[in-house]
Amino acid sequence: MPLVKLEKINQNSSWALWKIEETEEQLMKYVQLPTDDTGELHDIHHPGKKLEWLSGRAALRALLNAENHTRFRISKDDKGKPYLPEWGFHISLANSFPYGVAIIHRHQPVGIDIEKPSTKLLRVKHKFLNSSEAEYVQDDLERLCIYWATKESLYKLYGRKQLSLKQNIEVSPPTNRQVSASILLESRATQFQLDTYHWDGFCIVYSCID
């Protein structure tokens, strides 16, 4: 079973990393999706994208197995954020072939993202970095990847679709494994701490809320 990592962040939250080494049928058998949760999968036509979609849910299945919860059904709230109605857990999922990641929290919204440093981020950095962030990042792909994944994680955590990665999320230079960031809205700044994890050339960023 290609569960690469399962880490308890604190008493309320854990995250997991899954590597795709199975067929679609094998992943389906492991994840055990409820019938009413398979519609989204059936709308995906590319075989590789189906595996990616399932990999995040395989990571989630591993997290729930560790909590001794044998089943799950994903619902979305009025902001479009996924959660588990049976347990009331907040969740976030992400994937980047051949990996899927998931995070759960018992009480608070969470966010996670996985990305591999790539020159494609250079082509769009002007769309998500403000001037001070761009000055720090320059053309450093590692830094650029961390900033992108941090902003994506907070975008998922907040769940407000009109949130601008460039204007409403501000990231500070990381220290060791941690990144400080803020969501700026209506003249207010809400601070967040996120952790980073590097594996196989990929960067994973996730919120570490107590």
Report percent pLDDT > 70 for the chain.
98
End-to-end CA distance of the chain: 29
Residues 6+ apart with CB under 8 A from 25: none
Q: Is the pLDDT of residue 146 over 80?
A: yes
Give the residue-averaged pLDDT of 179-196. Answer: 94
Residue 159 has a pLDDT of 81
Q: Is the pLDDT of residue 209 over 90?
A: no
Fold match between domain 3-110 and domain 114-207:
yes
Residue 204 has a pLDDT of 98
Residue 50 has a pLDDT of 94
- 197 touches 150 (CB < 8 A): no
Predicted TM-score of the model (pTM): 0.94
d(CA 93, CA 113): 7
The answer to whether the Cα torsion of 47, 50, 52, 58 is positive or negative is negative
The structural domains of the chain, with segments of one domain joined by +, span 3-110, 114-207
Looking at the structure, give the CATH architecture of the domain made up of residues 114-207: Alpha-Beta Complex (3.90)
Give the residue-averaged pLDDT of 139-166. Answer: 93
Question: In which band, very low, low, confident or very high, does the pLDDT at 82 lie, cut at 50, 70 and 90?
Answer: confident
**Candidate from 52-66, 77-91, 137-151, 163-177 with smallest mean pLDDT:** 77-91
The H or E element containing residue 65 is helix 47-66
| CATH topology classification for 3-110 | Ribosomal Protein L22; Chain A (3.90.470)
Residues 6+ apart with CB under 8 A from 5: 16, 17, 197, 199
